[in-house]
Amino acid sequence: MAQRIKTNIKFYKGLDNVADKLYGFVAKSNGSWRGCRETESKKKIVFVDTAIAKDIIPNTLYSCSLVPMRNEGGFIAKSATIIKFPGTVATVCRKNVFLVRITFGNKEYIYDPSSKEKRKNDIKSIADILRSRHDLENAISVAEDFIDNACIVKRLYEQSQSNV
Partner 1 sequence: MNTTFKIQQIWQYLGVQDDEILIIRHYNKSDDKDEFLIAEVTQDGLKITTAPTMPELRADRPFQIIQQRDSSGKFIIPSVTQLINDKVSDY
Q: CB of residue 128 vs partner 1: minimum separation in angstroms?
A: 19
Q: CB of residue 70 vs partner 1: minimum separation in angstroms?
A: 28
Closest CB to partner 1 among residues 93, 123: 93
Asked if residues 85 and 76 have their Cβ atoms less than 8 Å apart, the reply is no
Q: CB of residue 68 vs partner 1: minimum separation in angstroms?
A: 22
DSSP 120-159: HH-HHHHHHHHHH-TTBTTHHHHHHHHHHHHHHHHHHHHH
Closest CB to partner 1 among residues 48, 139: 139
Burial of 52 (0-12, 13-18, 19+ CB in 10 A): middle
CA distance 23 to 28: 17
Give contact residues for partner 1 (rule: CB under 8 A): 8, 10, 35-37, 61, 83, 85-95, 103-107, 135, 137-138, 141-142, 145, 149, 152, 156-157, 159-160, 163
Classified as helix, coil or strand, 15 is helix
Closest CB to partner 1 among residues 87, 127: 87
Closest CB to partner 1 among residues 68, 105: 105
